[in-house]
Structure 1
Amino acid sequence: MKNRRALLMMALAIVFGLTAVALASRWLLRQTPGASNKIVVAATDVSLGQRLTPEMLKQLDWPADSLPRGALKDSGKLVGRVLKNSVLRDEPLSEAKLAPAGTLGGLSALIAEGKRAITVRVNDVVGVAGFALPGNFVDIIVNTQANDRAISKIVLERILVLAVAQEVGRDETKPRVVNAVTLEVTPGQAENLDLARSVGTLSLVLRNQVDPRPGTTDGATKGTLLGAHEAPVAPPPAMPPAASAAPVAARHRVQVATSAPRARSCIGVIAGVQRSQECL
């Protein structure tokens, strides 16, 4: 009797155990994500402007329901492509992070379509104490002479800094004092900037990265700086009309004629041994 009861309890325990295992398996299957896909990621940290090599790439399993937008799956097609954004290790690669196929490495890969790169000479003051770093936006001020007056005026706004000296990395935040800064501009802006540095001195003004509002100003002169307006230049005195000048000249000639002494003519008269002079 006791053995039969013990066997019954063991059978019930086995049944309950199998039921628990089946329920747990079903729950786990519901929690498991869908099938994984292999995508191409960076095998190491890669800086922008670098050309990808096989050692920089690897494939990594990624859940199919959370694939990054534009993720690439064929690493063979990426060898030789140039990055236009820095990537970290195990970061997925996409076309948005790559320069167009056939682009050479270096600074030229970072220039946007339709833009140009131009370098200006700076110092610790002009370069905002070294805080104008790659990836920042700056305004450009020129100080020059206009109409014999000194004036400072913003000539270009929201200009992207591509590189400082020969460095293009955008991950550093420590200021760097350099002697040259390379800027990304349109062809028209390149012409204006080249003219501005030939007629005056340039200064860079660091601006907020997310502030697109223009800084519309009239420029600063000595008058506006000191709170006084420069006196306007008086026009030259007008010449009198030619018609009115003639009578004045005539009157002047009359006055001169009347005021001058009248000339007298004299003749000598001889009568015998006497000699006299008569004046008319």
Structure 2
Amino acid sequence: MNISSLLSMISGLALAGGSAYVAKDYMDGQHAARITAGPELVEVVVASQDIAFGAAITAQSLTTIAWPAEARPGGTFTAYDTLLPETGKPPRRARRAIAQGELIRASRISKFGEKVTIVQTLRPDHRAMAIKVSAETAVGGFVTPGDRVDILLTQGRGNDLKTVTILQNSRVVGVDQDANEESETPGVARTVTVEVTPEQGQRLALAQRAGTLSLTLRTLDAPAEEVPLESIGLGDVLRNLPPADAAVPVRKTVLIRRGTEVTETEIR
């Protein structure tokens, strides 16, 4: 092999090695760029402050944050123009209380100019029904919208007095004129509005005319299913109490002193 052929072979190997190195460096750079760039982001609209139930959606109550495009939930918004009204037009309103930083969803806001009432908070085939209450029958005024309660009916007089639980796990949708579930201030109400089915509404209407209704607050983790409860009468309560004339006998004793010794003897 002559010297020119050897030089040509060495040049070819060097060129091939350099090309491979450049290609590898380029591919490594592209991979690093993809890792640095991360997922594609999109701007989504969120609440910049707490928005109460029924409050108007305004520019001051909105802001945007970056959100992964592939993980964007349905019913969210990427611009203000579909949320804010034209000049002089009625606004959209919150159908539910919206917390600061929460995504604005179509299901939680009204259409432009749509009236917002507790109707929007009801489940399908349910009704809202108000019952009269007082501080004594409404847990001292600690019932607020969003709470779950049992409803008890007390009727009769004297020994015929009875109490029965007529509804369990009913959702409170309003207290007087307040339907805001974010309300935390208790107060003495005159009416409490609960969510009922048509059949439950009939039972509740009859119960209001038959006697006194009382509410009992349920815990947040109480089971949703109803537990069958029998009515209880005054006799059932008194049966577990000692008779009024079953007085505890008085123990009578005398002290007998003999010098420095004192003894106690019971008199029978």
Taking structure 2 as the reference length, the TM-score comes to 0.66
CA distance in 2, matches of 1:33, 1:88: 29
| Number of residue pairs matched by the alignment | 207
The answer to whether the aligner puts 1:46 opposite 2:57 as a matched pair is no
- When residues 176 and 31 of structure 1 are mapped into structure 2, their CA distance, relative to the original with a 3 A threshold, is farther
Q: Deviations over 1:104-159 (max 9, x none)?
A: 2133332333222121121111111122111011011011139x932110111111
Other-structure match for 2:169: 158
Q: Is this contact kept in 1: 2:95–2:116, CA < 8 A?
A: no
Q: How high is the TM-score relative to the length of structure 1?
A: 0.63
SS in 1 for 2:156: strand
Q: Secondary structure at the match of 1:39?
A: strand
SS for the counterpart of 1:158 is strand
- Equivalence for 2:187: 176
2:19 equivalent in structure 1? none
| SS of residue in 1 equivalent to 2:169 | strand
Q: Work out the percentage of aligned pairs sharing the same amino acid.
A: 25
CA distance in 1 between partners of 2:104 and 2:111 (Å): 14
8 Å contact kept, 2:110–2:116: no
Q: Distance in 1 between matches of 2:173 and 2:153?
A: 20
- 1:1-280 map, 5 Å: 27=32, 30-79=35-84, 80-98=91-109, 103-145=114-156, 149-210=160-221, 211-227=223-239
RMSD: 3.0
Q: 1:101 to 1:144 in 2, by over 3 A?
A: farther
Distance 2:177 2:31 in 1: 60
Change (3 A) 1:206 1:162: same
CA contact (8 A) 1:50 1:83 kept: yes
Taking the aligned partners of 1:69 and 1:51, their CA distance within structure 2 comes to: 22
The change in CA–CA distance for 1:103 and 1:187 in structure 2 (over 3 A counts) is farther
Unaligned runs of 5+ in 2: 1-27, 85-90, 241-268
Matches of 2:79 and 2:130, distance apart in 1: 38
What whole-Å deviation, never above 9, does each CA across 1:196-222 have from its counterpart, x for those lacking one? 011100000111233213131110012
Alpha-carbon displacement from aligned partner over 1:73-96 (angstroms, at most 9, x marks no partner)? 243333444423221233211234
Are the counterparts in 2 of residues 33 and 63 from structure 1 also a CA contact under 8 Å?
no
Are 2:118 and 2:179, in contact at CA under 8 Å, matched by a contact in 1? yes
User: Could you say what secondary structure the match of 1:77 adopts?
Assistant: coil
Q: Structure 1 residue 185: deviation in Å? A: 1.3
2:251 aligned partner: none
Distance 1:109 1:52, change over 3 A: farther
Whether contact under 8 Å (1:111, 1:184) holds in the other structure is yes
Q: How far 1:174 sits from its partner (Å)? A: 4.1
Q: Could you tell me which amino acid in structure 1 is paired with residue 154 of structure 2?
A: N
